[in-house]
Copies of this chain bind each other. A is one copy, B any other.
Amino acid sequence: MEDEVDRLVAAWRRERPDLDVEPLEVLSRVSRLARHLDRARRLAFAEHHLEPWEFDVLTALRRAGTPYQLSPGQLLTQTLVTSGTMTNRIDRLTKKGLVERLPDPNDRRGVLVRLTDEGRDRADQALAGLLDQERAILAELSRTQRGELAGLLRRLTGPFDNIPG
C-alpha cells in the first residue's frame, strides 16, 4: 500500500533529483506515524477522561512500584519535559486528586510526588485501553514482523537513550 511518504519522496525526487532523499523513507515515516499515534492515544484516553500528559505522569509513577512515588526531577527525565512544565502538571494533577505532594524526608529542597489510589486506578484503566488500541494498529504485522520492527527501531533509539541528550 502506498502512503503519504511515498508521495512525499516522489515529489522530492522530481523537484530535487540531485539530492539523495532515502533517509526520509524511514525517518519521515517515524515522525508521521508518531503524529497519528498521538491522535489515537488522545482518543483512547478520552474514554477515561485523561489527557496524554496526565497519562505520562501517572504511569511513570505507577511503573515505579509501591509506594508509587518519585521526585519531580525523576519525572522530568522520564517524560522529557522541562521543569516548569512538570511543576504545572503536578499542580493540576494534585487539584484533580490523582497525585499528592509530600516533603522529601531526606532532602529539604526536594518533594516527592505520590499517586493516590484513584490515580493508580485511572492509570491502570487507561493503560489497558491504550494497549487494546495499539494492538489494533499493529494487527497489520505478524508477530515475527513486529519483533523485527522493534529490533530495528531499538538500533536507532539506543544511541539517544544511552548517550545522554
A35 to B34, CA, bound (A): 9
* Contact segment of A2-10, A88-96, A103-111: A2-10
Q: Give the dominant DSSP class at A's interface.
A: helix
A: number of interface residues (CB 8 Å): 65
A47 to B6, CA, bound (A): 28
With A23-B131, A131-B23, A135-B23 known as contacts, the answer to whether A3 contacts B158 (CB < 8 A) is yes
With A3-B161, A63-B15 known as contacts, the answer to whether A131 contacts B20 (CB < 8 A) is yes
Q: Which residues from chain A sit less than 8 Å from chain B, CB to CB?
A: 1-6, 8, 11-12, 14-16, 19-27, 29-39, 62-65, 80, 124, 127-128, 131, 134-135, 137-138, 140-141, 145-150, 152-162, 165
